[in-house]
Amino acid sequence: MPLTEDNILLNSLVEAVANIPLNTIEFGRLSIAGLQFLLSCTYEKEMVFATPEYEVFRYSAILAAKQVSNDAYSTLMKQLPTIEQMQIDNSVQIKNKFITDHQNVAKKLEPLIEFINFKRIKGQILADVIDPLEIIPSKVILNVYRDIARSNMPNLNDTRGIPKTLYAWDEKACGSNLIIEDNGKIVQAEEDCIDHQCVRGTIALENKGTFEWDIIIEKNCSWSWIGVCASNNFNYETFAGNQPTGRVLGSGGLCNSTSGFYYCLPFHEDGARITVHLDMNKRTCAFTVNGKKYREVSEWNNLPSKLYPVVSLNYPGRFRIQPHQKNV
Protein backbone atom coordinates (compact mmCIF):
# COMPACT_ATOMS: atom_id res chain seq x y z
CA MET A 1 0.00 0.00 0.00
CA PRO A 2 1.58 3.34 -1.01
CA LEU A 3 2.03 6.14 1.49
CA THR A 4 -0.76 8.68 0.97
CA GLU A 5 -2.44 11.39 3.00
CA ASP A 6 -5.36 9.00 3.48
CA ASN A 7 -3.17 6.60 5.42
CA ILE A 8 -2.19 8.91 8.27
CA LEU A 9 -1.86 6.16 10.84
CA LEU A 10 0.21 3.96 8.53
CA ASN A 11 2.35 6.94 7.53
CA SER A 12 3.09 7.68 11.17
CA LEU A 13 3.88 4.04 11.90
CA VAL A 14 6.26 3.73 8.94
CA GLU A 15 8.02 6.99 9.82
CA ALA A 16 8.39 5.93 13.44
CA VAL A 17 9.90 2.54 12.58
CA ALA A 18 12.08 4.04 9.83
CA ASN A 19 13.67 6.26 12.46
CA ILE A 20 14.73 3.24 14.54
CA PRO A 21 17.89 1.32 13.55
CA LEU A 22 16.67 -2.16 12.63
CA ASN A 23 19.45 -3.88 14.57
CA THR A 24 17.92 -2.49 17.77
CA ILE A 25 14.59 -4.23 17.09
CA GLU A 26 14.37 -7.73 18.53
CA PHE A 27 14.02 -10.44 15.88
CA GLY A 28 10.43 -11.56 15.87
CA ARG A 29 8.94 -8.18 16.77
CA LEU A 30 8.52 -7.51 13.04
CA SER A 31 6.94 -10.13 10.79
CA ILE A 32 8.18 -10.78 7.25
CA ALA A 33 5.04 -9.05 5.96
CA GLY A 34 5.55 -6.10 8.29
CA LEU A 35 9.17 -5.70 7.25
CA GLN A 36 8.19 -5.99 3.58
CA PHE A 37 5.67 -3.20 4.05
CA LEU A 38 8.27 -0.98 5.74
CA LEU A 39 10.87 -1.61 3.03
CA SER A 40 8.39 -1.11 0.19
CA CYS A 41 7.22 2.21 1.63
CA THR A 42 10.77 3.51 2.11
CA TYR A 43 12.41 2.07 -1.01
CA GLU A 44 14.00 4.92 -2.99
CA LYS A 45 11.87 7.45 -1.11
CA GLU A 46 13.06 10.83 0.20
CA MET A 47 12.38 10.23 3.87
CA VAL A 48 14.53 9.78 6.94
CA PHE A 49 15.78 6.22 7.36
CA ALA A 50 18.08 5.18 10.18
CA THR A 51 19.45 1.84 8.90
CA PRO A 52 22.27 1.37 6.34
CA GLU A 53 21.31 -0.94 3.48
CA TYR A 54 23.67 -3.72 4.57
CA GLU A 55 21.96 -3.74 7.97
CA VAL A 56 18.61 -3.88 6.15
CA PHE A 57 19.79 -7.03 4.36
CA ARG A 58 21.25 -8.47 7.56
CA TYR A 59 18.03 -7.98 9.50
CA SER A 60 15.94 -9.37 6.63
CA ALA A 61 18.11 -12.47 6.23
CA ILE A 62 18.23 -13.27 9.94
CA LEU A 63 14.48 -12.71 10.26
CA ALA A 64 13.91 -15.09 7.33
CA ALA A 65 16.22 -17.66 8.92
CA LYS A 66 14.31 -17.42 12.19
CA GLN A 67 11.18 -18.52 10.32
CA VAL A 68 13.02 -21.63 9.06
CA SER A 69 14.84 -23.11 12.06
CA ASN A 70 16.83 -22.27 15.16
CA ASP A 71 19.96 -23.70 13.51
CA ALA A 72 19.60 -21.43 10.49
CA TYR A 73 18.94 -18.45 12.76
CA SER A 74 21.99 -19.15 14.96
CA THR A 75 24.22 -19.68 11.94
CA LEU A 76 23.25 -16.43 10.24
CA MET A 77 23.64 -14.49 13.48
CA LYS A 78 27.28 -15.58 13.40
CA GLN A 79 27.76 -15.25 9.64
CA LEU A 80 26.33 -11.75 9.33
CA PRO A 81 28.17 -9.35 11.65
CA THR A 82 26.92 -5.82 12.15
CA ILE A 83 28.81 -2.96 10.51
CA GLU A 84 30.17 -2.00 13.91
CA GLN A 85 31.48 -5.54 14.51
CA MET A 86 33.21 -5.52 11.12
CA GLN A 87 34.83 -2.19 11.91
CA ILE A 88 36.11 -3.49 15.25
CA ASP A 89 37.45 -6.72 13.73
CA ASN A 90 38.80 -4.83 10.70
CA SER A 91 37.64 -7.73 8.55
CA VAL A 92 34.51 -8.63 6.61
CA GLN A 93 35.32 -12.17 5.48
CA ILE A 94 33.25 -14.92 7.04
CA LYS A 95 34.89 -18.16 8.11
CA ASN A 96 32.19 -20.81 7.73
CA LYS A 97 30.01 -20.30 4.67
CA PHE A 98 27.64 -23.26 5.11
CA ILE A 99 24.10 -22.45 6.23
CA THR A 100 21.61 -25.04 7.36
CA ASP A 101 18.50 -24.99 5.13
CA HIS A 102 19.92 -22.17 3.01
CA GLN A 103 17.41 -22.87 0.22
CA ASN A 104 14.49 -22.48 2.62
CA VAL A 105 16.02 -19.29 4.00
CA ALA A 106 16.34 -17.97 0.44
CA LYS A 107 12.66 -18.79 -0.16
CA LYS A 108 11.55 -16.90 2.95
CA LEU A 109 13.77 -13.98 1.97
CA GLU A 110 12.35 -13.70 -1.57
CA PRO A 111 9.56 -11.17 -0.81
CA LEU A 112 12.11 -8.75 0.66
CA ILE A 113 14.82 -8.92 -2.00
CA GLU A 114 13.16 -6.52 -4.44
CA PHE A 115 13.05 -3.85 -1.74
CA ILE A 116 16.77 -4.05 -0.87
CA ASN A 117 19.14 -2.00 -3.01
CA PHE A 118 22.32 -4.08 -3.09
CA LYS A 119 24.08 -1.30 -4.99
CA ARG A 120 24.20 0.62 -1.72
CA ILE A 121 26.29 -2.15 -0.11
CA LYS A 122 30.07 -2.09 -0.44
CA GLY A 123 31.47 -4.47 -3.04
CA GLN A 124 33.79 -6.18 -0.57
CA ILE A 125 30.88 -6.99 1.74
CA LEU A 126 28.88 -8.32 -1.20
CA ALA A 127 31.75 -10.55 -2.30
CA ASP A 128 33.05 -11.74 1.07
CA VAL A 129 29.92 -11.85 3.23
CA ILE A 130 26.68 -11.93 1.25
CA ASP A 131 27.45 -13.82 -1.97
CA PRO A 132 28.97 -16.92 -0.28
CA LEU A 133 25.79 -17.47 1.76
CA GLU A 134 23.89 -18.47 -1.41
CA ILE A 135 20.61 -17.01 -0.19
CA ILE A 136 20.40 -14.21 -2.77
CA PRO A 137 19.47 -14.92 -6.42
CA SER A 138 22.69 -15.04 -8.41
CA LYS A 139 21.33 -12.62 -11.01
CA VAL A 140 20.89 -9.93 -8.34
CA ILE A 141 24.51 -10.16 -7.25
CA LEU A 142 25.70 -10.55 -10.85
CA ASN A 143 23.98 -7.33 -11.89
CA VAL A 144 25.78 -5.42 -9.14
CA TYR A 145 29.12 -6.97 -10.12
CA ARG A 146 28.50 -5.98 -13.75
CA ASP A 147 27.77 -2.39 -12.78
CA ILE A 148 30.97 -2.30 -10.73
CA ALA A 149 32.99 -3.70 -13.65
CA ARG A 150 31.47 -1.20 -16.06
CA SER A 151 31.88 1.67 -13.59
CA ASN A 152 28.15 2.25 -13.85
CA MET A 153 27.66 2.42 -10.11
CA PRO A 154 25.80 5.60 -9.19
CA ASN A 155 27.11 7.67 -6.31
CA LEU A 156 24.74 6.18 -3.76
CA ASN A 157 24.79 6.61 -0.01
CA ASP A 158 24.96 3.41 2.00
CA THR A 159 21.59 4.32 3.53
CA ARG A 160 18.31 4.71 1.66
CA GLY A 161 16.37 7.95 1.76
CA ILE A 162 17.77 10.63 3.99
CA PRO A 163 20.25 9.15 6.48
CA LYS A 164 19.35 10.02 10.03
CA THR A 165 22.07 12.11 11.56
CA LEU A 166 23.40 11.26 14.99
CA TYR A 167 23.55 14.93 15.79
CA ALA A 168 20.21 16.71 15.82
CA TRP A 169 18.05 18.08 18.61
CA ASP A 170 15.02 16.08 19.69
CA GLU A 171 11.76 18.03 19.82
CA LYS A 172 10.30 15.33 22.07
CA ALA A 173 13.09 15.72 24.63
CA CYS A 174 13.14 19.48 24.93
CA GLY A 175 12.24 22.21 27.43
CA SER A 176 8.88 23.89 26.89
CA ASN A 177 10.43 27.30 26.17
CA LEU A 178 12.95 26.06 23.63
CA ILE A 179 12.35 26.01 19.87
CA ILE A 180 13.99 23.55 17.46
CA GLU A 181 14.80 24.95 14.02
CA ASP A 182 16.64 24.11 10.79
CA ASN A 183 15.68 20.42 10.72
CA GLY A 184 16.88 19.83 14.24
CA LYS A 185 20.23 21.57 13.91
CA ILE A 186 19.43 24.64 16.02
CA VAL A 187 17.86 25.17 19.43
CA GLN A 188 16.66 28.67 20.30
CA ALA A 189 15.48 29.86 23.72
CA GLU A 190 12.28 31.91 23.69
CA GLU A 191 12.16 35.33 25.31
CA ASP A 192 10.26 34.02 28.33
CA CYS A 193 12.87 31.30 28.94
CA ILE A 194 14.39 32.93 32.02
CA ASP A 195 15.70 29.82 33.75
CA HIS A 196 17.90 27.28 32.00
CA GLN A 197 16.15 24.49 30.12
CA CYS A 198 17.60 21.51 28.24
CA VAL A 199 17.37 19.67 24.97
CA ARG A 200 19.06 16.40 24.10
CA GLY A 201 20.07 14.76 20.84
CA THR A 202 17.83 12.42 18.90
CA ILE A 203 19.94 9.25 19.00
CA ALA A 204 21.58 7.53 21.95
CA LEU A 205 25.35 7.05 21.87
CA GLU A 206 26.00 3.67 23.42
CA ASN A 207 27.98 0.45 23.34
CA LYS A 208 31.47 0.81 21.91
CA GLY A 209 32.76 3.60 19.74
CA THR A 210 33.95 7.18 19.82
CA PHE A 211 31.70 10.12 19.02
CA GLU A 212 32.54 13.74 18.30
CA TRP A 213 30.25 16.68 17.66
CA ASP A 214 30.46 20.46 17.60
CA ILE A 215 28.23 22.93 19.38
CA ILE A 216 28.33 26.41 17.85
CA ILE A 217 27.09 29.12 20.20
CA GLU A 218 25.47 31.38 17.63
CA LYS A 219 24.04 33.53 20.42
CA ASN A 220 25.37 33.32 23.94
CA CYS A 221 23.25 33.51 27.08
CA SER A 222 24.09 34.17 30.74
CA TRP A 223 25.78 30.75 30.95
CA SER A 224 25.95 28.25 28.10
CA TRP A 225 26.15 24.59 29.12
CA ILE A 226 27.26 21.74 26.86
CA GLY A 227 27.77 18.04 27.51
CA VAL A 228 26.00 14.70 27.78
CA CYS A 229 23.13 13.18 29.71
CA ALA A 230 21.29 9.92 30.23
CA SER A 231 17.55 9.94 29.58
CA ASN A 232 16.48 8.17 32.77
CA ASN A 233 14.54 10.56 35.03
CA PHE A 234 16.03 13.55 33.21
CA ASN A 235 14.03 16.78 33.49
CA TYR A 236 14.33 19.01 30.41
CA GLU A 237 12.67 21.92 32.20
CA THR A 238 15.63 22.45 34.54
CA PHE A 239 19.40 22.87 34.40
CA ALA A 240 21.32 19.73 33.39
CA GLY A 241 24.25 20.17 35.77
CA ASN A 242 22.13 19.76 38.88
CA GLN A 243 20.73 16.43 37.71
CA PRO A 244 22.31 13.05 38.57
CA THR A 245 22.79 11.99 34.93
CA GLY A 246 23.80 15.38 33.51
CA ARG A 247 27.47 16.13 32.76
CA VAL A 248 28.01 19.61 31.32
CA LEU A 249 30.71 22.21 30.75
CA GLY A 250 29.74 25.85 31.27
CA SER A 251 30.85 28.92 29.36
CA GLY A 252 32.54 30.19 32.52
CA GLY A 253 35.01 27.30 32.26
CA LEU A 254 33.48 25.26 35.08
CA CYS A 255 31.97 21.79 34.95
CA ASN A 256 28.53 20.76 36.23
CA SER A 257 27.52 24.07 37.88
CA THR A 258 28.62 27.62 38.61
CA SER A 259 30.15 26.24 41.81
CA GLY A 260 31.72 23.26 40.03
CA PHE A 261 35.36 22.51 39.26
CA TYR A 262 37.51 24.55 36.89
CA TYR A 263 38.21 22.95 33.50
CA CYS A 264 39.05 25.50 30.80
CA LEU A 265 39.16 29.16 29.83
CA PRO A 266 35.77 30.91 29.59
CA PHE A 267 33.96 31.08 26.24
CA HIS A 268 31.21 33.67 26.62
CA GLU A 269 31.48 35.09 23.10
CA ASP A 270 29.05 34.55 20.24
CA GLY A 271 30.46 32.12 17.70
CA ALA A 272 32.34 29.99 20.23
CA ARG A 273 32.86 26.43 19.00
CA ILE A 274 32.94 23.59 21.51
CA THR A 275 33.72 20.04 20.42
CA VAL A 276 32.62 17.15 22.60
CA HIS A 277 34.83 14.04 22.44
CA LEU A 278 32.96 11.06 23.88
CA ASP A 279 34.75 7.72 24.08
CA MET A 280 32.25 5.01 24.99
CA ASN A 281 34.99 2.37 24.93
CA LYS A 282 36.62 4.00 27.94
CA ARG A 283 33.54 5.91 29.14
CA THR A 284 35.40 9.21 29.04
CA CYS A 285 34.59 12.70 27.85
CA ALA A 286 36.79 15.64 26.84
CA PHE A 287 36.24 19.02 25.21
CA THR A 288 37.92 21.24 22.65
CA VAL A 289 37.09 24.91 23.12
CA ASN A 290 37.76 27.29 20.23
CA GLY A 291 40.42 24.98 18.85
CA LYS A 292 42.20 24.15 22.12
CA LYS A 293 41.90 20.53 23.25
CA TYR A 294 41.59 20.02 27.00
CA ARG A 295 42.07 16.93 29.16
CA GLU A 296 39.62 14.14 29.72
CA VAL A 297 37.23 15.05 32.51
CA SER A 298 38.56 12.50 34.99
CA GLU A 299 36.06 13.69 37.60
CA TRP A 300 33.32 12.13 35.45
CA ASN A 301 34.38 8.59 36.26
CA ASN A 302 30.93 7.01 36.29
CA LEU A 303 29.44 7.87 32.91
CA PRO A 304 26.30 5.85 32.07
CA SER A 305 26.41 3.29 29.26
CA LYS A 306 23.86 5.18 27.15
CA LEU A 307 24.27 8.92 26.63
CA TYR A 308 22.88 11.75 24.53
CA PRO A 309 24.31 15.14 23.55
CA VAL A 310 22.71 17.80 25.75
CA VAL A 311 22.78 21.57 26.20
CA SER A 312 21.26 23.90 28.78
CA LEU A 313 20.43 27.46 27.83
CA ASN A 314 18.13 30.40 28.48
CA TYR A 315 17.20 33.51 26.51
CA PRO A 316 18.73 34.72 24.21
CA GLY A 317 20.72 31.51 23.70
CA ARG A 318 20.87 29.93 20.26
CA PHE A 319 23.02 26.81 19.75
CA ARG A 320 23.78 24.76 16.65
CA ILE A 321 24.77 21.07 16.72
CA GLN A 322 26.70 19.38 13.92
CA PRO A 323 29.12 16.50 13.31
CA HIS A 324 32.64 17.51 14.29
CA GLN A 325 34.24 19.60 11.55
CA LYS A 326 37.99 19.10 11.65
CA ASN A 327 40.44 21.81 10.61
CA VAL A 328 37.85 24.56 11.02
User: pLDDT tens digits, residue range 84-134?
Assistant: 788 666 655 555 566 778 899 999 999 999 999 999 998 889 988 999 999
Query: CA 198, CA 235: separation in Å to the nearest integer?
Result: 8
Mean pLDDT of 142-147: 88
Q: In terms of C-beta density within 10 A (0-12 exposed, 13-18 middle, 19 or more buried), how is residue 192 classed?
A: exposed
Assess whether 126 and 194 both reside in one domain. no
Q: Does residue 259 lie in a domain region?
A: yes
Which of 163, 194, 226 finishes a domain? 163
Residue of higher predicted confidence among 62 and 328: 62
> Which pLDDT score is estimated for 258?
66
Query: CA 51, CA 68: separation in Å to the nearest integer?
Result: 24
DSSP letters of 227-247? EEE--TT--TTS-GGGSTTEE
Which of 135, 163, 191 finishes a domain? 163
> Which pLDDT score is estimated for 150?
78
Q: Does residue 328 lie in a domain region?
A: no
Q: Does residue 303 lie in a domain region?
A: yes
- The CATH number that applies at residue 233 is 2.60.120.920
Assess whether 180 and 269 both reside in one domain. yes
Assess whether 188 and 157 both reside in one domain. no
DSSP letters of 195-223? S-EEEEESS-EESS-EEEEEEEEEE--SS
Residue 155, SS3?
Answer: coil
Assess whether 140 and 238 both reside in one domain. no
Assess whether 276 and 145 both reside in one domain. no
- 180: CB partners within 8 A, 6+ apart: 169, 170, 171, 174, 186, 187, 188, 199
- Please report how many Cα atoms fall inside a 13 Å half-sphere around the Cα of residue 244, on the Cβ side: 5
> Which pLDDT score is estimated for 197?
97
Query: CA 215, CA 251: separation in Å to the nearest integer?
Result: 12
Assess whether 258 and 114 both reside in one domain. no
Q: Does residue 1 lie in a domain region?
A: no
Full domain range(s) for residue 266: 169-323
User: pLDDT tens digits, residue range 291-308?
Assistant: 999 999 999 988 998 999
Mean pLDDT of the chain: 88
Assess whether 181 and 152 both reside in one domain. no
DSSP label of 132: G
Which of 163, 193, 211 finishes a domain? 163
First to last CA, the chain: 46
The tally of domains found in the chain comes to 2
> Which pLDDT score is estimated for 92?
57
> Which pLDDT score is estimated for 194?
96
User: pLDDT tens digits, residue range 163-200?
Assistant: 666 789 999 999 999 999 998 999 999 999 999 999 99
Q: Does residue 233 lie in a domain region?
A: yes
> Which pLDDT score is estimated for 55?
95
1 pLDDT tier (thresholds 50, 70, 90): very low
Query: CA 109, CA 166: separation in Å to the nearest integer?
Result: 30
